[in-house]
Amino acid sequence: MAAPPAFSSRDPLSPQFWDERFERAFTPWERGGVSMALRRFVADAARPLVALAPGCGTAHELALMCEAGWDATAIDFSPEAVARARALAGPWADRILQADFFTYAPARPLDLVYEQAFLCAMPRERWDAVARRWEALLAPGGLLAGYFYFDDAAKGPPFGTSRARLDELLHNGFECIADEAVEDSIPVFAAKERWMVWRKRQRML
Protein backbone atom coordinates (compact mmCIF):
# COMPACT_ATOMS: atom_id res chain seq x y z
CA MET A 1 0.00 0.00 0.00
CA ALA A 2 1.38 3.40 -0.98
CA ALA A 3 2.18 5.85 1.79
CA PRO A 4 -0.16 8.83 2.06
CA PRO A 5 1.10 12.16 0.73
CA ALA A 6 2.93 14.55 3.06
CA PHE A 7 0.55 17.31 4.13
CA SER A 8 1.33 20.67 5.69
CA SER A 9 -1.88 20.88 7.74
CA ARG A 10 -2.32 18.41 10.62
CA ASP A 11 -5.33 19.95 12.39
CA PRO A 12 -8.70 18.42 11.40
CA LEU A 13 -10.47 21.35 13.05
CA SER A 14 -9.05 23.61 10.33
CA PRO A 15 -10.65 23.90 6.87
CA GLN A 16 -7.14 23.89 5.39
CA PHE A 17 -6.64 20.30 6.61
CA TRP A 18 -9.53 19.12 4.44
CA ASP A 19 -8.85 21.52 1.54
CA GLU A 20 -5.38 20.07 1.14
CA ARG A 21 -6.64 16.50 1.06
CA PHE A 22 -9.37 17.24 -1.48
CA GLU A 23 -6.92 19.19 -3.64
CA ARG A 24 -4.52 16.23 -3.65
CA ALA A 25 -7.28 13.64 -4.15
CA PHE A 26 -6.48 11.89 -0.85
CA THR A 27 -10.01 11.23 0.42
CA PRO A 28 -10.22 7.58 1.60
CA TRP A 29 -13.34 8.40 3.65
CA GLU A 30 -15.28 9.36 0.50
CA ARG A 31 -17.70 6.68 -0.67
CA GLY A 32 -18.14 8.12 -4.15
CA GLY A 33 -21.84 7.25 -4.21
CA VAL A 34 -24.84 6.57 -2.00
CA SER A 35 -24.93 3.71 0.49
CA MET A 36 -27.53 0.94 0.47
CA ALA A 37 -28.83 1.72 3.97
CA LEU A 38 -29.42 5.36 3.12
CA ARG A 39 -31.23 4.40 -0.08
CA ARG A 40 -33.56 2.17 1.96
CA PHE A 41 -34.02 4.84 4.61
CA VAL A 42 -35.05 7.48 2.07
CA ALA A 43 -37.33 5.07 0.19
CA ASP A 44 -39.06 4.00 3.42
CA ALA A 45 -39.62 7.51 4.80
CA ALA A 46 -43.32 8.21 5.39
CA ARG A 47 -42.99 11.81 4.19
CA PRO A 48 -40.36 14.19 2.83
CA LEU A 49 -38.00 15.36 5.56
CA VAL A 50 -36.13 18.57 6.33
CA ALA A 51 -32.60 17.22 6.37
CA LEU A 52 -29.03 18.39 6.94
CA ALA A 53 -25.83 16.59 5.93
CA PRO A 54 -22.94 18.20 7.84
CA GLY A 55 -19.35 17.69 6.80
CA CYS A 56 -20.77 16.64 3.46
CA GLY A 57 -17.59 16.29 1.40
CA THR A 58 -18.68 15.66 -2.18
CA ALA A 59 -22.32 15.28 -1.02
CA HIS A 60 -23.48 12.43 -3.25
CA GLU A 61 -26.33 11.81 -0.79
CA LEU A 62 -27.88 15.23 -1.39
CA ALA A 63 -29.29 14.42 -4.84
CA LEU A 64 -30.98 11.25 -3.53
CA MET A 65 -32.71 13.23 -0.79
CA CYS A 66 -33.74 16.11 -3.02
CA GLU A 67 -35.03 13.82 -5.76
CA ALA A 68 -37.26 12.19 -3.13
CA GLY A 69 -38.80 15.59 -2.44
CA TRP A 70 -36.87 16.27 0.75
CA ASP A 71 -35.86 19.78 1.80
CA ALA A 72 -32.20 18.80 2.14
CA THR A 73 -29.09 20.92 2.67
CA ALA A 74 -25.44 19.87 2.77
CA ILE A 75 -22.75 21.90 4.50
CA ASP A 76 -18.98 21.75 4.80
CA PHE A 77 -16.47 24.27 6.13
CA SER A 78 -13.87 23.28 3.51
CA PRO A 79 -14.12 25.58 0.46
CA GLU A 80 -12.52 22.90 -1.72
CA ALA A 81 -15.04 20.27 -0.62
CA VAL A 82 -17.94 22.63 -1.31
CA ALA A 83 -16.61 23.49 -4.76
CA ARG A 84 -16.26 19.83 -5.67
CA ALA A 85 -19.68 18.96 -4.29
CA ARG A 86 -21.35 21.76 -6.22
CA ALA A 87 -19.67 20.63 -9.42
CA LEU A 88 -21.27 17.19 -8.96
CA ALA A 89 -24.68 18.26 -7.70
CA GLY A 90 -26.35 19.42 -10.91
CA PRO A 91 -29.67 21.17 -10.14
CA TRP A 92 -29.07 20.85 -6.38
CA ALA A 93 -25.80 22.81 -6.28
CA ASP A 94 -27.38 25.78 -4.50
CA ARG A 95 -28.27 23.49 -1.59
CA ILE A 96 -24.58 22.96 -0.77
CA LEU A 97 -23.29 25.66 1.55
CA GLN A 98 -19.93 26.57 3.01
CA ALA A 99 -20.74 26.73 6.71
CA ASP A 100 -19.52 25.76 10.16
CA PHE A 101 -21.68 23.06 11.73
CA PHE A 102 -21.39 24.64 15.15
CA THR A 103 -22.82 28.00 14.06
CA TYR A 104 -25.02 27.08 11.07
CA ALA A 105 -28.66 28.02 11.62
CA PRO A 106 -31.20 26.22 9.40
CA ALA A 107 -34.26 28.11 8.23
CA ARG A 108 -36.51 25.75 10.17
CA PRO A 109 -36.11 22.89 12.66
CA LEU A 110 -34.70 19.74 11.18
CA ASP A 111 -36.37 16.35 10.90
CA LEU A 112 -33.07 14.63 10.16
CA VAL A 113 -29.34 15.07 10.61
CA TYR A 114 -27.44 12.62 8.43
CA GLU A 115 -24.20 11.32 9.93
CA GLN A 116 -21.52 10.09 7.55
CA ALA A 117 -17.88 10.33 8.67
CA PHE A 118 -18.50 13.62 10.50
CA LEU A 119 -18.21 12.58 14.14
CA CYS A 120 -15.15 10.46 13.42
CA ALA A 121 -13.52 13.41 11.63
CA MET A 122 -13.63 15.36 14.88
CA PRO A 123 -11.04 14.96 17.66
CA ARG A 124 -12.66 13.17 20.58
CA GLU A 125 -12.55 16.23 22.82
CA ARG A 126 -15.08 17.89 20.48
CA TRP A 127 -17.64 15.08 20.59
CA ASP A 128 -19.71 16.45 23.45
CA ALA A 129 -20.12 19.69 21.52
CA VAL A 130 -21.14 17.73 18.41
CA ALA A 131 -23.80 15.80 20.35
CA ARG A 132 -25.19 18.99 21.90
CA ARG A 133 -25.38 20.60 18.47
CA TRP A 134 -27.17 17.59 16.96
CA GLU A 135 -29.77 17.84 19.69
CA ALA A 136 -30.16 21.60 19.30
CA LEU A 137 -30.67 21.40 15.53
CA LEU A 138 -33.35 18.70 15.58
CA ALA A 139 -37.04 19.20 16.24
CA PRO A 140 -38.53 17.01 19.00
CA GLY A 141 -38.82 13.49 17.61
CA GLY A 142 -36.27 14.31 14.90
CA LEU A 143 -33.79 11.69 13.76
CA LEU A 144 -30.02 11.39 13.79
CA ALA A 145 -29.33 8.67 11.24
CA GLY A 146 -26.27 7.34 9.52
CA TYR A 147 -22.96 5.60 10.06
CA PHE A 148 -21.06 5.42 13.32
CA TYR A 149 -17.43 4.27 13.37
CA PHE A 150 -16.19 2.00 16.17
CA ASP A 151 -12.47 1.71 16.81
CA ASP A 152 -10.01 2.35 19.64
CA ALA A 153 -6.97 3.57 17.69
CA ALA A 154 -5.51 6.63 19.37
CA LYS A 155 -4.69 8.51 16.20
CA GLY A 156 -7.04 9.83 13.55
CA PRO A 157 -9.00 10.90 11.70
CA PRO A 158 -10.96 8.75 11.61
CA PHE A 159 -11.38 8.81 15.38
CA GLY A 160 -13.38 5.75 16.42
CA THR A 161 -15.74 5.46 19.34
CA SER A 162 -16.96 2.61 21.53
CA ARG A 163 -20.62 1.75 21.98
CA ALA A 164 -20.36 2.76 25.64
CA ARG A 165 -18.96 6.17 24.70
CA LEU A 166 -21.59 6.69 22.01
CA ASP A 167 -24.36 5.82 24.48
CA GLU A 168 -22.82 8.26 26.95
CA LEU A 169 -22.83 11.01 24.33
CA LEU A 170 -26.41 10.48 23.20
CA HIS A 171 -28.50 8.83 25.91
CA ASN A 172 -29.70 12.07 27.52
CA GLY A 173 -31.04 13.51 24.29
CA PHE A 174 -31.73 10.49 22.10
CA GLU A 175 -32.98 6.92 22.04
CA CYS A 176 -31.55 4.38 19.62
CA ILE A 177 -34.28 2.91 17.40
CA ALA A 178 -32.14 1.08 14.80
CA ASP A 179 -28.71 -0.54 14.93
CA GLU A 180 -27.71 -2.62 11.91
CA ALA A 181 -24.66 -4.19 10.31
CA VAL A 182 -23.33 -2.45 7.19
CA GLU A 183 -23.01 -4.54 4.05
CA ASP A 184 -21.26 -2.10 1.72
CA SER A 185 -18.59 -0.35 3.80
CA ILE A 186 -15.68 1.26 2.00
CA PRO A 187 -12.24 -0.08 3.02
CA VAL A 188 -11.35 2.52 5.66
CA PHE A 189 -14.52 1.70 7.63
CA ALA A 190 -14.90 -2.01 6.83
CA ALA A 191 -16.11 -4.15 9.76
CA LYS A 192 -15.95 -1.11 12.05
CA GLU A 193 -19.18 0.78 11.39
CA ARG A 194 -22.88 0.41 12.12
CA TRP A 195 -25.94 2.00 10.52
CA MET A 196 -27.85 3.55 13.41
CA VAL A 197 -30.92 5.72 13.85
CA TRP A 198 -31.36 7.78 17.02
CA ARG A 199 -34.58 9.65 17.79
CA LYS A 200 -34.51 12.88 19.76
CA ARG A 201 -36.36 12.48 23.02
CA GLN A 202 -39.54 14.43 23.63
CA ARG A 203 -38.93 16.68 26.61
CA MET A 204 -41.70 16.85 29.21
CA LEU A 205 -42.78 20.34 30.26
Domains and CATH numbers, the chain: 36-200 (3.40.50.150)
What lies within 8 Å, CB to CB, of 80 at 6+ separation is 18, 19, 22, 23
- How are beta strands 96-98 and 71-76 bridged, if at all? parallel
The letter for the amino acid at 94 is: D
Backbone phi, psi, residue 93, to 5°: -60, -35
pLDDT tier at 10, thresholds 50, 70, 90: confident
Which sign, positive or negative, has the C-alpha torsion 189, 171, 174, 101?
negative
pLDDT tier at 115, thresholds 50, 70, 90: very high
**Which helix (H) or strand (E) covers residue 139, if one does?**
strand 138-149
- CA atoms of 85 and 92, how far apart (whole Å): 10
pLDDT tier at 130, thresholds 50, 70, 90: very high
| Res. 189: pLDDT tops 50 | yes
Query: How many angstroms separate the first and last alpha carbons of the chain?
Result: 56
Residue 135 confidence (pLDDT): 96
The answer to whether the CB of 197 falls within 8 A of the CB of 178 is: yes
pLDDT tier at 1, thresholds 50, 70, 90: very low
